[in-house]
Amino acid sequence: MLFSNPINSIIMKNSITQKLLFLLLTVILIFSSCNPEDGLDGAMGPQGPEGIQGPKGDPGENVETEVITAFGKWEVTNGQFVLDNAKYVYINEDNTIAILAEDELGFKRDLTTNISVTGNQITLSSGEVGSSINNYIIEGDKMTVKLLTG
């Protein structure tokens, strides 16, 4: 005669019920996370060698690249630029500026800090001398710098 333990049969039924419930929830989750509007490439579009690619932009055939002519060594011939008695200004392509000041005895001070340079503007920010936005115009080998005031 076979005897069945009612406790074991309840555990088995609960175990089967749990597995079926888990399977049902997993299937629902998988199908609900796929949006038919995503297309074959997925929600984010096709992937390229460097990750997800955005929409294609202008190929650049008609786009002009801004040429910045402010880079280089400049001598201060008139007025003041950032430091008192500034004599030479080096505007570097790595977005730094070095300003050398000179008095009657020779160079007495220099300042090197980060800048942002565009085709007509130099933005300087230094804890030592503060921040300034300077427009500039280059005519031949002469740069005229004007401090913007608010």
Does the residue 53 lie in any domain?
A: no
Q: What is the pLDDT of residue 57?
A: 64
101: domain CATH number?
A: 2.40.128.300
Q: What are the C-alpha distances in Å from 133 to residues 8, 20, 94? A: 82, 69, 18
3-state secondary structure the chain: CCCCCHHHHHHHHHHHHHHHHHHHHHHHHHHHCCCHHHCCCCCCCCEECCEECCCCCCCCCCCCCCCCCCCEEEECCCCCECECCEEEEEECCCCEEEEEEEECCEEEEEEEEEEEECCCEEEEEECCCEEEEEEEEEECCEEEEEECCC
Q: What are the C-alpha distances in Å from 33 to residues 24, 30, 37, 38? A: 14, 6, 12, 11
Q: Which of 17-21, 22-26, 79-83, 98-102 has the highest mean pLDDT?
A: 98-102
Q: Pick the residue with more confidence: 1 or 73?
A: 73
Q: What is the pLDDT of residue 84?
A: 81
Does the residue 98 lie in any domain?
A: yes
Rounded Cα distance, 105 and 112, in Å: 21
pTM of the model: 0.53
Q: Pick the residue with more confidence: 9 or 83?
A: 83
What is the per-residue pLDDT across 60-105, written as a single tens digit (0 to 9) for each? 666 677 777 888 998 888 887 888 888 888 999 999 989 888 887 7
Does the residue 122 lie in any domain?
A: yes
Does the residue 21 lie in any domain?
A: no
Does the residue 135 lie in any domain?
A: yes
Does the residue 107 lie in any domain?
A: yes
Q: What is the pLDDT of residue 1?
A: 43
Percent of the chain with pLDDT over 90: 3
| 8 — pLDDT class (breaks 50, 70, 90) | very low
Domain span at residue 93 reads 72-147
Does the residue 20 lie in any domain?
A: no
> Which of 116, 108, 87 shows the shortest CA–CA distance to 99?
87
Total of domains in the chain: 1
Does the residue 39 lie in any domain?
A: no
> Which of 37, 39, 41, 66 shows the shortest CA–CA distance to 52?
41
